């Protein structure tokens, strides 16, 4: 069980990359299935176009791939 205000890793879809790409970043657990996205240390909005910007409140879904399971931001819940 996770606790509110804990920080976890979450992935955000990158737009305009030509192929499906995801960026790992940190998010603060807000509770009720909500997470607040944090910028990466080298976040550059002119270089990468995140589907949900740092500071966004998002919902996430669990995604499973060959490497295991991760959380992917899937819905913006506003600020």
For the chain, the average pLDDT equals 92
Domain count, the chain: 1
Cα separation, 13 vs 3, whole angstroms: 25
Q: In this structure, are strands 7-15 and 21-31 parallel, antiparallel, or unpaired?
A: antiparallel
In a domain, 45, yes or no: yes
pLDDT, one tens digit per residue, over 38-51 is: 999 999 999 999 99
Six-digit token string for 50: 């995140």
Mean pLDDT (whole number) for 50-60: 97
Q: Which domain holds residue 68?
A: 7-76
In a domain, 2, yes or no: no
Specify which residues 36 forms β-bridges with.
28, 57
Q: Which backbone phi and psi does 23 adopt, to 5 degrees? A: -115, 125
In a domain, 1, yes or no: no
């Amino acid at each position: 069980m996770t606790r509110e205000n804990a920080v976890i890793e979450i992935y955000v879809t990158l737009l305009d990359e030509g192929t499906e790409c995801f960026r790992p970043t940190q998010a603060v657990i807000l509770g009720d299935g909500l997470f607040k996205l944090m910028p990466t240390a080298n976040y550059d909005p002119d270089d990468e176009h995140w589907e949900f910007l740092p500071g966004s409140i998002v919902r996430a879904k669990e995604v499973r791939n060959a490497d295991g399971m991760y959380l992917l931001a899937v819905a913006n819940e506003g600020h």
